[in-house]
Structure 1
Amino acid sequence: MKNTLVAFLLSLALFCNSCIKQAPLNPEADIEAFDVDDELLTGDVFIDQAGRTITLNLTKEAFDNGIAPQLKLSNGATVSPASGTKINFANGEPQYEVTSASGANRKVYTIKVINVGTWDFDFENWQIQSTDSYAFPLEANGEQLWSSGNPGVALSGVPKRPDAYPTRSTTDGYLGTKAAEMLTIKGTTLSEFIGIKLFAGSLFLGDFNASQALLNPLAATEFGEPYIGLPDRFTGYYKYKSGPQFTNKAGDVLPGVKDKCSIYAVLFSGTERLNATNIMTSDRVIARAELADGSDRDNFTKFDIPFVYKQNTVIPEKLMLAIVASSSADGNNYSGSIGSRLVVDSLSIIPKL
């Protein structure tokens, strides 16, 4: 009996050991964190897992001399060049190749350095996102500074074509050949199932954090780019037509309520971006320039709005500036008028002399 028990326990141990050995290796090949010394940054690092890009806002010295970031990878994954290796930007955009522990998956991440030089935006150049086919503007040098709610809308099951999204390009511009168009659209079957009955078109300087899109959609909109100096005025051109019926988040029509657009710029302290949950309330805000009247404008109308600074505010060394526009001012609460249309063109931030 004793020998039988020993044999059984030995067999069980060998079986369990076999199970452990047969456990599959991790197939993930992600860069989960990209740590750079804060003194070398003018804005927070942003990792776009869908686009496989890592966006950096570097000081001039860091850009000229290179950086040696520390990387956190998926469990068991390897990366080339290795974490802690110095990378330089003299020969273009560095890349990291990550291989999963299983060896089955590989991802290549491209490092992009964003440093806003001239704060004049004409929206002449647009690109189509490769996976979900929404449009986004590019600067003349190919940098992507602007984002929108389109990546979040893509998760709701809209058709994969640029004109199905609320933010896109239009040839109906003030200057040049193109401008930025925002349209408040009806929600999809999937979005209505979770209580989102409309999507407002939005455009903002910053990034859309897709990892927050389902958990906290408002926090997914990360506003701002590093700003040097102090802004004096926010200028540009817009036209706007509100939709026929204003509805609240529940989908109830509110008679007599007229939709309006929203256009504003906000200067704030630090390197961490603000988002739609705190851009208007954060104690980090130093100055605002906001369009006072977002009612209908049949023709392009120029605005020239001074920045209003908080009194007795000490200006810190590191600043961020956000520009935000939306076809429905209350769109962050999923309220507005389906069909509301905002077009903006030739936006500029005029610095203090």
Structure 2
Amino acid sequence: MLRKILLSTIAICCLYGCIKDAPLNPEADIETFTIDRSQLTSDVFIDQVNRKVMLYLKPDAFDKGVAPVLTLSAGASVTPASGDSIFFDNGNVPEYTVTSASGENKKTYLVEVVAIGEWKWAFEKWEINDKDKYQYLVENDGNLVWSSGNPGVALSGVPKNPEGYPLRATTDKYEGTYAAELLTMPGTALSNLVGIKLFAGSLFLGNFDSQSAFLEPLKATQFGQPYQGRPRSFTGWYKYAPGASYQDKAGNIIPGMHDSCAIYAVLYSGTTRLDATNIHTSDRIIATAKLPDGSGRGNFTRFDIPFTFLPGKIPRGDMMMAIVASSSKDGDTYRGAIGSRLVLDSLEITQ
């Protein structure tokens, strides 16, 4: 009996010692940011890479302010507190400071209200990510409405400079100073380990969820921004040069196969974004406008594609508009030709 008591005492002491000595959580993340859906035109997106919370608010919510409810990394604290109201008057950009349970780490998240006024883009303003050095598009009002696969490619060990990524600015433009250049590039030693032999250059309206980049890469591309009205056509300028050798997902060259680009717009219902797994198949799709021929174009070529509405579909209520472009149309399944190059300029959705 005495032996059992001694063993039990030792076990309890060991357990207490483990609990006592367990390090406090060093993470300082905002994991969820919840607002009443009646105040939103699209789901909230937390950009963990750039520490931004992207809000898509209805006008009344913007004018009156909102009271978000947050969940954080275990044991972390935040200022202002979860449930406190934040306001956007006089150009105010709210921010949240999260302190980890251990007290060792702090992160500051900016809250940005995203809105698209004129559905027309010249691709003139580019910035460089501080950490990974890829380029990304910024609107003149500072909004981030465009995204790409660059944040995902950054995880694969590419060189940390703008030339190491498949989307970047180019002075080979139709008008203005810059255009968007999309390149299909070879994979890296790290990406090859998970079966990714190439990266197609991509550009799309929406967000890239870096948290899903390796586990569910097709779901990481979240297409679309809130849209109102009835679109008439999708217009713009492009040039395209396919790479020399088309390859399958395993990297095998397929003789006689030629790469082609993809440029399309999709209008769909709801506020939750579609992604690369369902952007062509969802029953929420209302209308599409797709470039019919993605073969090579040596000079800048204009496209003016009318939207085709699906039978019985009417544009009304909450809707999203996706615009997607890729230097290899099969790039979402890691097929294409290394060296394929697409240049885009002066895109517009007309009504």
State the Cα distance separating 1:149 from its structure 2 match: 0.7
State the Cα distance separating 1:314 from its structure 2 match: 3.7
- The residue type paired with residue 176 of structure 1 is G
The aligned residue for residue 138 of structure 1 is 138
Residues 243-285 of structure 1: CA distance to partner in whole angstroms, max 9, x if unpaired? 1111111111111111111000000000011111110110000
The aligned residue for residue 123 of structure 2 is 123
CA–CA distance in 2 between the matches of 1:6 and 1:237?
82
The aligned residue for residue 83 of structure 2 is 84
Cα contact 2:246–2:253 (8 A) shared by 1: yes
Residues 73-96 of structure 1: CA distance to partner in whole angstroms, max 9, x if unpaired? 111111111110000011421001
Does residue 41 in structure 1 map to residue 40 in structure 2?
yes
The aligned residue for residue 19 of structure 1 is 18
Residues 162-211 of structure 1: CA distance to partner in whole angstroms, max 9, x if unpaired? 01111100000001010000011111111112211111100000010011
1:131 counterpart SS class: coil
State the Cα distance separating 1:29 from its structure 2 match: 1.1
Task: Summarize the Cα distance change of 1:231–1:19 in structure 2 as closer, same or farther, 3 Å threshold.
Answer: same
CA–CA distance in 2 between the matches of 1:314 and 1:341?
36
With structure 2 as the length reference, what TM-score do the two structures score? 0.97
State the Cα distance separating 1:35 from its structure 2 match: 0.5
Does residue 339 in structure 1 map to residue 343 in structure 2?
no
State the Cα distance separating 1:14 from its structure 2 match: 3.6
The aligned residue for residue 229 of structure 2 is 229
- The residue type paired with residue 78 of structure 1 is S
Structure 1: tracts of 5 or more residues without a match: none
Task: Summarize the Cα distance change of 1:338–1:5 in structure 2 as closer, same or farther, 3 Å threshold.
Answer: closer
CA–CA distance in 1 between the matches of 2:76 and 2:255?
57
CA–CA distance in 2 between the matches of 1:146 and 1:111?
17
Cα contact 2:330–2:336 (8 A) shared by 1: yes
> Which range is displaced more, 93-102 or 14-23?
14-23
CA–CA distance in 1 between the matches of 2:326 and 2:14?
61
With structure 1 as the length reference, what TM-score do the two structures score? 0.96
State the Cα distance separating 1:114 from its structure 2 match: 0.3
Task: Summarize the Cα distance change of 1:16–1:162 in structure 2 as closer, same or farther, 3 Å threshold.
Answer: same
State the Cα distance separating 1:49 from its structure 2 match: 1.2
Task: Summarize the Cα distance change of 1:190–1:7 in structure 2 as closer, same or farther, 3 Å threshold.
Answer: closer
CA–CA distance in 1 between the matches of 2:312 and 2:185?
42
State the Cα distance separating 1:19 from its structure 2 match: 2.8
Does residue 271 in structure 1 map to residue 243 in structure 2?
no
CA-based RMSD:
1.3
- The residue type paired with residue 85 of structure 1 is D
State the Cα distance separating 1:6 from its structure 2 match: 4.7
Residues 193-231 of structure 1: CA distance to partner in whole angstroms, max 9, x if unpaired? 221111110000001001110111111000000001111
State the Cα distance separating 1:7 from its structure 2 match: 5.6
2:56 counterpart SS class: strand
1:191 counterpart SS class: helix
Alignment of 1:106-121 (within 5 A): 106-121=106-121
Residues 272-317 of structure 1: CA distance to partner in whole angstroms, max 9, x if unpaired? 1111111011000000000001111110000000000012124331
